[in-house]
Amino acid sequence: MNKALVYAKHNKAGIAPKKVAIMMDLVRGEPLINAKKRLAFDPTKAAKIILKVVRSAETNAKNNHNLDPKNLFISEIYVNQGKVQKWGHPTARGKFSPQLRRTSHIIVGLSPKEEEKTEEKKHKSLLRRKK
């Protein structure tokens, strides 16, 4: 897979990486417009956070690289575990019940669609005519 041209990231997002990864699998490799529609209509917190990062990457592509958002797709999207906040409550018989608040680092990479070479297009059209 090619490296993405434009990146955006959100550090210390207040959601567990496992929850974010489920939504990322739905939009990985999709055109930008389709991914934004899917994320906009999903009611989960993960979708709202990912949509925010995707829009940031789209803006970076427009302003910094003069790319057309219609030709972009999500080439890379992944999540890393962030810092974990730990606290807890004392429980019976001198024990301690820990609670963990996990955070995520969300990274989105966009790339322009590569157009097929003209020779490949001609070859495909010849194959269609023979049938």
Domain extent listing, the chain? 6-130
Among 48, 58, 70, residue whose Cα is nearest residue 7: 58
Q: Angle at which helices 32-40 and 45-65 pack, to 10 degrees? A: 150
What pLDDT was estimated at residue 4? Answer: 82
What DSSP designation does 114 have? P
Distance in angstroms (rounded) separating the CA atoms of residues 59 and 108: 12
pLDDT of residue 44: 96
Which distant-in-sequence residues (6+ apart) come within 8 Å of 123 by Cβ?
none
What is the three-class DSSP state of 43?
A: coil
Tens place of pLDDT per residue across the chain (131 aa): 568 899 999 999 999 999 999 999 999 999 999 999 999 999 999 999 999 999 999 999 999 999 999 999 999 999 999 999 999 999 999 999 999 999 999 999 999 987 655 556 555 655 665 55
Q: Which H helix or E strand runs over 21?
A: helix 17-27
Q: pTM for the complete prediction?
A: 0.81
Under CATH, to which class is 6-130 assigned? Answer: alpha beta
> Do 106 and 8 touch, CB atoms closer than 8 A?
no
